[in-house]
A and B are shown apart, each in its own frame.
Chain A
């Protein structure tokens, strides 16, 4: 049965004691926010609960919220069984950006999390192989951060700035 984000939040909060916050958007899609401490348990519920069955993690994106000095991860989930969708967001401080990995639940997160780590700098606890994926292993900094400064040379080759 198809559920809206609001219904899903209500359903989840019966179990998570109101820890999940529903944010209604004026433009675009609404989402739920969740703290990193219950993210993994929530993700497992989202995947396995009979009423939810989010079997498809469509997209996982890292975001740098520069004004708040925070890093975030957005999960776009889809259930091909019940046909409902959900946007889930988690935020962590820039100094200690640790988010639990969901790789063991949705294998597709493996590369997406590596990309978010590489380009934004989010560390995923529990990821089996958290290495850079697009830049070289010894690259400095995380290019998609808003305050990123490109290194001038890389192995004695100028990077063109």
Chain B
């Protein structure tokens, strides 16, 4: 039998090639370009190029001259978890201007935020599977996400960009059947997580594609200020809802899932994925407790100021969004906001990509980008 030898010209062995990668994730449709330097199939360097979606949130917010008017624009920062963006901003303004919020409003905000967290994680997990070629879990996730969006639509009138949380309260009271709708969702969703686990978590192809890939060690994660599932996937038990509690999160009993390297190494793509899956269960726990404790009566507009009186001062307030730490740094003057900086988790988490993709295969780079779960609206603002 003749031995087949592949021709290997000397110059082919030495040359690296720079190629453009993307769009990949449904949320990166032409807004993220990754310059990848490859040696054959191996990634030597991966540099994200961002800025294509930049819509000048900060410039615009500073020009409005009124804290209340900024809220609808915060929605557009991370459009798949808009309620968290609103909530973070509103809490920052309330802290700065010392506005007290009624109990019922706090409970409502927590319930809505946790529903949104589940919706956002479902999108993240579904599209992560899609990145790796698994189409069915994507549909499963979207069916469930749709149920949440219907609830949120009933509450606020909008499906994605809500403009529902306002400084001091909520835009309007919740619909009568909100509680029963939410209970119905919770009871239907619990068994679905098991189905999702059968399809993805324990699927050997999925494990092969994600375990030991894109490993982010804990100390590197902290040095890059990673947050959310990206940090917790690396085994660090750090959740702002618990460790630097805001709103009324300290009243609820829930756990912080962390990556343990169950099928590979701590901090790999599978760990980041599983943290999101387990967080959905924790969110369900929070919603259940909040629904039970929430007072039935109360005016949600009670503490909303007619005109916001601005004070001179500044503050940095961070909240835990599905993607991690969202911080608003606000400098305020007597006349209104002077500087509003949004520190978004997607921006910070994406900056880690060059550090964790070195030496990966090109096909694995797809898994790594998917596992970071970025939303480009949050990267560019």
Interface set of A (CB-CB < 8 Å, partner B): 25-29, 55-59, 61, 63-64, 74, 76, 80, 83, 87, 106-108, 110-111, 119, 132-136, 143-144
Across the interface, do B54 and A135 meet the contact criterion of CB distance under 8 Å? yes
Q: What are 14 A-B interface contacts by the 8 Å CB criterion?
A: A27-B313, A27-B332, A56-B225, A59-B343, A61-B329, A63-B331, A106-B224, A108-B223, A108-B348, A111-B348, A111-B351, A134-B51, A134-B54, A134-B380
B158 within 8 Å of A (CB atoms): no
Chain A residues, CB < 8 A from B312:
26-27
Q: How far is the CA of A108 from the CA of B329 in the complex (A)?
A: 17
Distance in angstroms from A132 CB to nearest chain B CB is 8
The answer to whether the Cβ of B50 comes within 8 Å of any Cβ in the partner chain is yes
Give chain A residues whose Cβ lies under 8 Å from the Cβ of B222. 55-56, 80
Q: Which residue of A lies closest to B53 (CB)?
A: A134
- 17 additional A-B pairs beyond A26-B311, A111-B347, beta carbons within 8 Å, are A28-B313, A29-B315, A56-B222, A58-B316, A58-B318, A59-B327, A61-B329, A64-B339, A76-B327, A83-B243, A108-B351, A110-B351, A111-B351, A133-B50, A135-B51, A143-B56, A143-B59
Binding site for A on B (CB under 8 A): 50-51, 54, 56, 58-59, 62, 95-96, 98, 220, 222-225, 236, 238, 243, 311-316, 318, 325, 327, 329, 331-332, 339, 341, 343, 347-348, 351, 355, 380
Interfacial chain A residues near B54, Cβ < 8 Å: 134-135
Chain A nearest Cβ from B243, distance in angstroms? 8
- Bound CA–CA A58/B341 (angstroms): 12
Assembly CA distance A115 to B61 (angstroms): 17
- The CA-CA distance from A21 to B169 in the complex, in Å, is 38
**Interface-centre pick from B50, B341, B348 (highest chain A CB count, 10 A):** B341
Q: Would you call the interface of chain B mostly helix, strand, loop, or mixed? A: mixed
B316 neighbours in A (Cβ, 8 Å)? 29, 58-59, 76, 87
Partner of A80, one of B50, B238, B341, B348: B238
Determine how close the nearest CB of chain A comes to the CB of B8; give it in whole angstroms.
35
Query: Chain A contacts of B96 at CB under 8 A?
Result: 27-28
Residue of A25, A56, A61 near B313 (CB, 8 A) is: A25
A57 adjacent to B314 (CB under 8 Å): no
Interface of A is mostly: loop
Query: Are the C-beta atoms of A107 and B339 separated by less than 8 Å?
Result: no
- A134 and B55 CA atoms in complex are apart in Å by 10
Contacting pair A144 B225 (CB below 8 A)? no
Cα distance A144–B339 in the bound complex, in angstroms: 9
CA distance A144 to B381 in the complex (A): 13
Residues of chain A with a CB closer than 8 A to B325's CB: 58
Among A29, A108, A119, A135, the one with the most B-chain Cβ atoms within 10 Å of its Cβ is A108
Shortest Cβ distance from residue A101 to the other chain B in the assembled complex, whole angstroms:
15
Across the A-B interface, the 3 shortest Cβ-Cβ residue pairs: A27-B313, A108-B225, A28-B313
Rounded to whole Å, the gap between the CB of B365 and the closest CB of chain A is 19
- Asked if A134 meets B50 with Cβ closer than 8 Å, knowing A27-B96, A28-B313, A107-B223, the reply is yes
Are A61 and B339 interface neighbours, CB within 8 A? yes
B343: which of A28, A55, A58, A87 is its contact (CB, 8 Å)? A58
* A143 nearest in chain B by CB position: B59
Cα of A160 to Cα of B93 in the assembled complex, Å: 32
B51 neighbours in A (Cβ, 8 Å): 132-136
| Known A-B contacts A108-B224, A134-B380, A144-B59; A59 and B347 likewise in contact (beta carbons under 8 Å) | no
